[in-house]
A and B are shown apart, each in its own frame.
Chain A
């Protein structure tokens, strides 16, 4: 199979991954866009003919619904209203003359869209990938493919429910926007590097998610190996501090050989034993959390803060005055 460019190839392969063998690519397909009285075109020589390159993905049968995808690969500029307008005319014409098949349209342009594209996309119900977010944010090109796959997967499942509203402008535009707009938060979190990760999936996470996931949980064990220190909770979830990264979530059985950590207590960092640490922590619930960079500290329900370093654990009573409330 021939492809016009790398973007078309990767979009096709992604669509095949989601929709199976119902995806096709056509090049230089001739389409009579509309009559000259139609407002989007004006011609002195009768209805204009357009040559288009299109990826068609059949999303469902009986009644049939096809997604017409236009791939715009521009290295140094964004797609302009004319590109979206052209695809609007294509999808509109296809719907106008279709007997049993409904068509939805999508334009994928990893370099983004200029602001004037939005009115055309909303009026003609086209999905734009990446989304127009009203700021100057530029998504990495590969992220557009992730967005494309996300929208396709969600759309396939969405069509198993009544979907007539999706066919009316601007519902499909909005649907794709809702599924892709949260990439902004994901991109912005990239700037701080990957500090928090979920166990099992290795998905990037955040301090906020860690807190909402672990808050209130009861500690059943303290973990300590050469690679991390951490906690195990009553519901089987774990917390692991490795120095640079913090992993939490369902236990993915990465247990390594136990290695006794250095154990310190009180503000004066007095020596204590691992058994002391267990006695302080086990059976208590998480009440607060703080990431101090080189170590991570939890506030637990017996008014103790327990801190995790790589190879060490500390415990400090939070009761005042500190000298009279030493552990």
Chain B
């Protein structure tokens, strides 16, 4: 779910960008870290490696979020593309967004986001 692995920006504790593909293949050799490796894909624990995924913000900066697992699904869901605020994102169809409807906050899947909707954080969906 969420963003495809090709779009993940992961940095180490020193702030330098890490090649996700290479790191995944390397960590895959460490049996203890591999939480699951089956027909659905592989999930690797990285919570102790001080890795952060960077999410782009409107002002051009990044929000760093600590990574606990890296997941590489073999059957990811369909990708959809939306322009939210000034940024165009490719994301999996099951990515969840919060939208405001009158006094209610509702969860909406990315494949159900419509042009003109305003997200709960104030960002508008342009396409």
Residues of A within 8 A of B (CB): 118, 133-135, 150, 153-154, 157-158, 160-162, 165, 178-179, 181-186, 188-189, 201, 203-206, 209
Assembly CA distance A141 to B38 (angstroms): 19
Q: List B residues 27-65 near A (Cβ within 8 Å).
A: 32, 34-36, 38-41, 43, 45, 47-48
Interface pair A160/B32, CB less than 8 Å apart: yes
Q: Is the CB of A183 within 8 A of B40?
A: yes
Alpha-carbon distance A224/B17, docked complex (angstroms): 45
**Which residues of chain B are near A189, meaning CB under 8 Å?**
75
* CB within 8 Å for A182 and B96 given contacts A134-B109, A160-B32: no
Please report the C-alpha to C-alpha distance between residue A73 and residue B76 in the assembled complex, in whole angstroms: 29
- Rank and list the top 10 A-B pairs by shortest CB-CB distance, nearest first: A185-B75, A182-B73, A154-B35, A186-B75, A203-B39, A185-B77, A134-B109, A154-B36, A181-B1, A157-B35
Name the A residues within 8 Å of B1 (CB-CB).
Answer: 178, 181-182
Known: A134-B96, A161-B47. A206 touches B74 (CB 8 A): yes
A78 nearest CB across to chain B (Å):
17
Cβ of B96 to closest chain A Cβ, rounded Å = 7
- Cβ contacts A to B, 18 pairs, < 8 Å: A118-B107, A133-B94, A134-B96, A150-B40, A153-B36, A154-B43, A178-B71, A179-B35, A181-B94, A182-B40, A182-B41, A185-B76, A185-B77, A188-B75, A201-B39, A203-B39, A203-B74, A206-B74
CA of A203 to CA of B39 in the docked complex: distance in angstroms? 6
Q: How far is the CA of A184 from the CA of B94 in the complex (A)?
A: 9
A56 to B77, CA, bound (A): 33
Least CB separation from B92: chain A residue: A185
Given A157-B32, A178-B69, A181-B94: A206 touches B40 (CB 8 Å cut-off):
no
Of A154, A162, A182, the residue contacting B77 (CB under 8 A) is: A182
Q: Are the C-beta atoms of B35 and A209 separated by less than 8 Å?
A: no
- Shortest CB–CB separation between residue A248 and chain B, in angstroms? 13
In the bound assembly, the distance between CA atoms of A85 and B96 in angstroms comes to: 23
Q: Hey, which chain B residues are within 8 Å of A204, CB to CB? A: 39, 75
- Let me know if A161 and B48 touch, CB within 8 A: yes
Given contacts A134-B108, A201-B39, contact A162 B48 (CB under 8 A): yes
Contact B43 A178 (CB under 8 A): yes
Given contacts A134-B109, A154-B43, A162-B48, contact A184 B35 (CB under 8 A): no
Q: How close is B106's CB to chain A, nearest CB, in angstroms?
A: 10
- Name A's interface SS: helix
Provide the residues of chain A in CB contact with B76, threshold 8 Å. Answer: 182, 185
State how many angstroms separate the Cβ of A188 from the closest Cβ of chain B: 7
**Which residue in B34, B73, B78 is a CB contact (below 8 Å) of A157?**
B34
Question: Are A134 and B94 in contact, CB atoms less than 8 angstroms apart?
Answer: yes
Known: A150-B40, A157-B32, A181-B1. A205 touches B74 (CB 8 A): yes
- The distance from the CB of B109 to the nearest CB of chain A, in whole angstroms, is 5
By a CB distance below 8 angstroms, the chain B residues around A135 are 94, 109, 111
Residues of chain B lying within 8 A (CB to CB) of residue A185: 73, 75-78
Docked complex Cα distance between A133 and B92 (Å): 12
How far, in angstroms, from A204 to B45 measured CA to CA in the complex? Answer: 25
B28 to chain A, nearest CB (A): 14
Q: How far is the CA of A193 from the CA of B108 in the complex (A)?
A: 30
For the A-B complex with A154-B36, A186-B39 known, give 7 more contacts whose Cβ atoms are closer than 8 Å: A135-B109, A161-B45, A182-B73, A185-B75, A186-B40, A189-B75, A206-B74
B108: nearest residue on chain A (CB-CB)? Answer: A134
Contacts of B35 in A (CB 8 A): 153-154, 157-158, 179
Bound complex: CA A134 to CA B54 (Å): 26
Whether the Cβ atoms of B77 and A209 lie closer than 8 Å is no
**Are A150 and B94 also in contact (CB < 8 A) when A178-B69, A209-B74 are?**
no
- Most chain B CB neighbours (cut-off 10 Å) among A134, A150, A162, A204: A134
* CB of B39 to closest CB in A, whole Å: 4
Nearest CB on A from B123, distance (A): 19
Separation of A178 and B78 alpha carbons in the complex (Å) = 16
Candidate in A154, A162, A185, A204 with the most chain B CB atoms within 10 angstroms: A185
Residue of A nearest to B76 (CB): A185
Nearest to B107 among chain A residues (CB) is: A134
A174 to B37, CA, bound (A): 19
